[in-house]
């Protein structure tokens, strides 16, 4: 198994993959997957082993963004976000892995984009706005940061935490650009 591991990059995540055929039945593939994951320090592992006219699939995930239970449901498997398994027929281990990687590339892996988590509308302050006023604006709208603009261009972002810190240091009068 160790010799057969390869890494496939899917949407920014390294997925360790094993797709092999073996001549005789081997019990405990889930234990092997767990050990293999530790050995190669994988965040995500998909192991497809062809034996006895079937492909036994075991998947593990330490990456919160990859739900292997949902992934293996696509091939009639089951499990939960961190561990899942499936047994399939009429495909090779390589075909099973290829299908799972293709599915993984198309599903939402739970990694939000900035646009999905940011507050709307975007609030701006002028670069000359005093820290005190910038903090009031952030508090009023519940923002953790405010965009700083100068002459109509975004020149930075000031974090509410930094505004709080500036206030503690008696810099409420200072312009936000500083």
Between CA 75 and CA 80 the distance in angstroms is 14
102-154 pLDDT tens trace: 999 887 665 556 676 677 788 899 999 999 999 999 998 888 889 999 999 99
Residue 13 sits in the same domain as residue 50? yes
**Displacement of CA 71 from its chain's centroid (Å):** 14
Among candidates 34, 1, 38, which has minimal Cα distance to 17? 1
Give me Rg for the CA atoms of the chain.
25
- Does residue 146 belong to any structural domain of this protein? yes
Check: CB of residue 65 under 8 Å from CB of residue 57. Answer: no
- Does residue 102 belong to any structural domain of this protein? yes
For position 84, what pLDDT does the model report?
95
* CATH number of the structural domain spanning residue 90: 3.10.310.40
- Which residue range forms the structural domain that includes residue 32? 2-106
Q: Is the link from the previous residue into 2 a cis peptide, with omega within 30 of 0? A: no
For position 54, what pLDDT does the model report?
95
Residue 77 sits in the same domain as residue 137? no
44-97 pLDDT tens trace: 999 999 999 999 999 999 877 789 999 999 999 999 989 999 999 999 999 999
- Does residue 178 belong to any structural domain of this protein? no
Report phi then psi at 31, rounded to 5. -65, -40
For position 144, what pLDDT does the model report?
87
């Amino acid at each position: 198994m160790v010799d057969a591991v390869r890494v496939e990059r899917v949407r920014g995540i390294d997925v360790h993959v094993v797709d092999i055929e073996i001549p005789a039945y081997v019990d405990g593939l889930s234990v092997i997957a767990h050990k293999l994951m530790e050995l190669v320090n994988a965040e995500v592992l998909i192991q497809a082993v062809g034996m006895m006219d079937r492909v036994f699939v075991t998947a593990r995930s330490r990456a919160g963004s990859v739900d292997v239970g949902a992934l293996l449901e696509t091939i009639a498997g089951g499990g939960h976000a961190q561990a899942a398994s499936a047994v399939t027929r009429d495909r090779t281990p390589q075909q099973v892995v290829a299908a799972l990687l293709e599915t993984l590339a198309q599903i939402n892996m739970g990694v939000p984009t900035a646009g999905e988590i940011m507050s709307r509308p975007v609030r701006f302050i002028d670069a000359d706005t005093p820290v005190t006023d910038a903090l009031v604006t952030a508090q009023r709208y519940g923002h953790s940061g405010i965009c700083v603009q100068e002459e109509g261009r975004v020149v930075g972002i000031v974090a509410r935490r930094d505004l709080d810190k500036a206030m503690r240091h008696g810099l409420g009068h200072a312009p936000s650009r500083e």
